[in-house]
Structure 1
Amino acid sequence: MSLTNKTFAETLQVQVKFKLHAYLGMIVYLIMVQIVGILMSLMGPTGMSSVSSFIDINAEMYTPTVLIFLSNLWAFYVGLLMTRHDQRADIMPFVSTRIMSSIGDVVVLVALAVYAGITAMLSNYVVRIVILLKSNKHMLSDENMFSAPEVFIENLVAFIFFILCFAAVGYFLGMIAQKSKKVLFIIVAVFFSMLFTSFGQEILLGTIKIAQFGLFSFMGVMIILSASCFIVATFLAGNLEVKG
């Protein structure tokens, strides 16, 4: 009988593969959510019309807002699901430490966010294709991955980081709930109460202004928020006890 010591990278790789298989069913829910988002985007365009003696113009604007919103909700739910006591209790026998398990969770959430961002972006193109197939529909702006690859990449990166941030917030709040539901209630209450104060609104507007400076500013804001949530959640996970 021989004992072999695996490196950190090898152990993490095994755990990530295991967790990806464990949460593979979430991909099905993502597909369902994005199909709903496509249908809602097609049913609810914003429009304007202009009528003169010689010309009748009707313009409709389709945005990926619904797709992103639903994808974010999905990511938030997945992050929350990973912190549930029964989920962690089932997975715990297959991992080495709670800290290692949390690091594996973060890697899996990043992978799922990348997948969700790519599929959300492609779903937006499905909406465009359906619009073009409609009679008497002409797209005024059609920046795609071939005509404007830099715009496509920027939007894709923004989608991924935005979705990842929601997953991180869900993971953080879920871990807080496992530690103390009273603390979770206080955090949520303070957050929403700050939205109605001048101080909280200034922070929110300042964050939005920083993100509007460009892609790198937006990425910086999302990375800081996501990393902060993951670090605190990982610290809390190290103090949790998994009971059989």
Structure 2
Amino acid sequence: MMMYLTKVSLWDIVKKQFRFKLKSFRGMFTSLMILQVMALLFSLGGEGGGGGGSDTFSYDMKNYSGNIIIAFMMIWAFISAIVVTTQAYRFDDYAFVSNRLSSHLANILFLGWASVIGGVTFVLASQSLKLAIFFLKDREFIVSQHLTVLQMAEGAAATILYLFLFTAIGYLVGMLVQRSKVFMIIIPGLLFGSLFLNVFLASESTFVIDIGQIFVRETSFLLFVLKVLLASAFAYGISAWVSNSLEVRK
């Protein structure tokens, strides 16, 4: 009697886990929509401006942008990645014939897809903000920056990359916390400690800001893409290395 064994490829396992995560984390996309609505409402108040005038007239000026929206989405990406690393969700992967590599690949694929959804919906949310301002401020003089299709595409791509970078950072933080709860104290301590130190020294920059400038000040889009992908790969790689020391489910 002959027995035939079907060899399951790594990619097949990753695809099954990815589809499973899409169903399991549907609430994550619901929270994204809610946060975007909240960010839109906050953005309607403007982000600063100025004013002036003379004896015959006066004027007030307000600036509107999608900065608040993207800030909310970065927080969403960071927290969502941490949620993916929690023990309960990691144990869900044991429903499949899998290993740590397939689990990490499925998580990265899912977080990458979530970043794409976030980037596309950001473009829609920013355009919704523009329309809301036009309708709500119909009696005011409005100067709007008109973007070409290429500029909108580049903006969406940049947003996707930023979100993916924040998922990588969140994934690393989540894995470190799963490795040892002491990181729940160390990481915020380092972050807020650097902020207080810079305030004490009257410095305009912090460690976090200096790191961020590596990406924000990049003028070449190709170099920006390369920097984000390398930084994300490094963070995910460290996360995979840290996860090797986590306990195995009995």
**TM-score (normalised: structure 2):** 0.85
Contact 1:207 1:221 in 2 (8 A): no
In the alignment, residue 131 of structure 2 is paired with which amino acid? I
Q: CA deviation at 1:82?
A: 0.7
Q: Distance in 2 between matches of 1:187 and 1:162?
A: 21
2:168 is the alignment partner of 1:168: yes
In the alignment, residue 217 of structure 2 is paired with which amino acid? Q
Q: CA deviation at 1:191?
A: 4.4
Q: Distance in 2 between matches of 1:24 and 1:242?
A: 27
In the alignment, residue 169 of structure 2 is paired with which amino acid? V
Partner of 1:142: 145
In the alignment, residue 226 of structure 1 is paired with which amino acid? S
Unaligned runs of 5+ in 1: none
Deviation digits for residues 121-157 of structure 1 (CA, Å, limit 9, x no counterpart): 210110000111122234313323xxx1222122212
Alignment CA distance shift 1:121-1:130 (3 Å): same
Contact 2:46 2:63 in 1 (8 A): no
Find 2:86's aligned residue among 84, 87, 93.
84
Alignment CA distance shift 1:112-1:209 (3 Å): closer
Partner of 1:190: 190
Unaligned runs of 5+ in 2: none
1:229 partner SS: helix
Q: CA deviation at 1:22?
A: 1.1
Partner of 1:4: 6
Q: Superposed, which structure 2 residues align to 1:1-150 within 5 Å?
A: 2-134=4-136, 135-144=138-147, 148-150=148-150
Q: CA deviation at 1:101?
A: 0.4
Q: Distance in 1 between matches of 2:209 and 2:74?
A: 19
Q: Distance in 2 between matches of 1:61 and 1:121?
A: 18
Deviation digits for residues 182-216 of structure 1 (CA, Å, limit 9, x no counterpart): 24533443344345369984784375156413133
Q: Distance in 2 between matches of 1:191 and 1:8?
A: 38
Contact 2:47 2:64 in 1 (8 A): yes
Q: CA deviation at 1:241?
A: 2.3
Q: Distance in 2 between matches of 1:202 and 1:84?
A: 28
Q: CA deviation at 1:179?
A: 0.7
Tell me the C-alpha RMSD between the 2 structures: 2.5
2:7 partner SS: coil
Contact 1:16 1:104 in 2 (8 A): yes
Q: Distance in 2 between matches of 1:217 and 1:201?
A: 23
**Aligned pair count?**
241
Comparing 124-133 with 182-191, greater Cα deviation is found at: 182-191
Contact 1:113 1:163 in 2 (8 A): yes
Q: Distance in 2 between matches of 1:167 and 1:231?
A: 13
In the alignment, residue 181 of structure 1 is paired with which amino acid? K
Q: CA deviation at 1:237?
A: 2.1
Q: Distance in 1 between matches of 2:154 and 2:58?
A: 35
Q: Distance in 2 between matches of 1:68 and 1:203?
A: 18
Contact 2:172 2:236 in 1 (8 A): yes
In the alignment, residue 205 of structure 1 is paired with which amino acid? D
Partner of 1:205: 210
In the alignment, residue 51 of structure 2 is paired with which amino acid? S
Deviation digits for residues 98-135 of structure 1 (CA, Å, limit 9, x no counterpart): 22101110110010011011111210110000111122
Partner of 1:220: 226
Find 2:238's aligned residue among 224, 227, 232.
232
Q: Distance in 2 between matches of 1:136 and 1:153?
A: 31
Q: Distance in 2 between matches of 1:93 and 1:185?
A: 33
**TM-score (normalised: structure 1):** 0.87
1:48 partner SS: strand
Comparing 221-230 with 111-120, greater Cα deviation is found at: 221-230
2:37 partner SS: helix
